[in-house]
């Protein structure tokens, strides 16, 4: 049984302007149209709606909530013995379940890349890419530089191509926004598709 959360767990209105139809998700599912039983990793707290949508698609679903400890930094992931705290990326990645290499069709990262220190991102993306089969895809949201708040906003799938989100959080993002060029440098091969939205976020697909 998946440790799912219902959308009613959130204090929110019926809908949020941040969610809605997603061009990136439309592209992703068209890209995976020939994959009958996709294997998918969700890196956020899993909501019942997301689980229902993916299971109805025939997915085998892995769940590892990396988002919550990134939103509320846990002391166990930082070495503070020096003058500057060092993020312990290997400790952070140890939260992931055992997943065979080259087995996943897609990974949902949500705003994870916006929430971790810059020097941890290369190792994170490298590790996640190792799970993807050839032509597998990482889906993530990235904030535009002018979007200063929203680090604890929650996200889920309303359908295969529609995003749902909680009320926009008022917590500031902890690090500067990544540029498109920086994202391309993080991804082995640099194969990245970016879709702009009107909500101050980019929907980004990184292809293996």
pLDDT (tens digit per residue) in 82-102: 888 899 999 999 999 999 999
Burial of 92 (0-12, 13-18, 19+ CB in 10 A): buried
pLDDT (tens digit per residue) in 161-188: 999 998 889 999 999 999 999 999 999 8
pTM of the model: 0.92
| Cα–Cα distance for residue pair 98/176, rounded to 1 Å | 32
pLDDT reading at 3 higher than 70:
no
Task: State the pLDDT at residue 16.
Answer: 46
pLDDT reading at 109 higher than 80:
yes
Sorted by where each starts, the structural domains of the chain and their CATH numbers stand as 7-207 (3.40.50.150)
| Cα–Cα distance for residue pair 131/78, rounded to 1 Å | 25
| Cα–Cα distance for residue pair 119/107, rounded to 1 Å | 21
Average pLDDT, the chain: 91
What token pair was written down for 131?
A: 């799970």
Helices (H) and strands (E) in the chain — how many of each?
A: 7, 11
Burial of 83 (0-12, 13-18, 19+ CB in 10 A): exposed
């Amino acid at each position: 049984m998946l440790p799912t959360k219902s959308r009613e767990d959130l204090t929110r209105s019926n809908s949020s302007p941040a969610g809605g139809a997603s061009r990136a998700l439309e592209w992703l599912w068209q890209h995976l149209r020939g994959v009958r039983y996709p294997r998918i990793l969700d890196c956020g707290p899993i909501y019942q709606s997301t689980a229902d949508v993916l299971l109805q698609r025939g997915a085998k679903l892995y769940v590892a909530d990396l988002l919550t400890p990134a939103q509320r930094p846990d002391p166990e992931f930082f070495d503070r013995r020096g003058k500057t705290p060092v993020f312990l990326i290997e400790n952070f990645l140890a939260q992931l379940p055992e997943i065979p290499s080259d087995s996943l069709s897609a990974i949902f990262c949500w705003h994870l890349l916006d929430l971790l220190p810059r020097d941890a991102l290369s190792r994170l993306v490298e590790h996640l890419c190792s799970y993807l089969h050839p032509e597998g895809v990482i889906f993530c949201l990235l904030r535009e530089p002018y979007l200063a708040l929203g680090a604890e906003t929650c996200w889920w799938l309303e359908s295969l191509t529609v995003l749902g989100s909680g009320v926009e959080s008022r917590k500031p993002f902890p690090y500067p926004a990544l540029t498109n060029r920086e994202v391309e440098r993080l991804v082995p091969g640099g194969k990245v598709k970016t879709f702009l939205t009107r909500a101050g976020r980019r929907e980004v697909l990184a292809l293996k």
